[in-house]
Amino acid sequence: MTYHLPAGKAAADGPYAVDVTPESAGWGYSSLRVVNLAPGGSHTFDSGGSEWIVLPLSGGCTVATADDFGRET
């Protein structure tokens, strides 16, 4: 199993600077998406059946959810 991606293999089209899926990386579960937003910008996406972590690499953010569901712990 490969635990890293060579430089240039994580580039993406669309709103993401990086878009790594389990399928594209050959991993079992984890994904990584990086979106660059201008100050005051926003990004909306469907999380599907996945759990997500929002981690600002600079600045700050506000996260809003619709249809909050899942486990209670």
Closest CA to 43 of 17, 67, 23, 69: 17
**Number of separate domains in the chain:** 1
d(CA 57, CA 54): 10
Closest CA to 5 of 40, 32, 43, 34: 32
Q: What is the pTM of this model?
A: 0.70
Query: What range defines the domain where residue 33 resides?
Result: 1-73
Closest CA to 63 of 72, 52, 54: 54
Q: What is the pLDDT of residues 15-27, one digit of tens each?
A: 888 888 888 888 8
What pLDDT, on a 0 to 100 scale, did the predictor assign at position 43?
A: 92
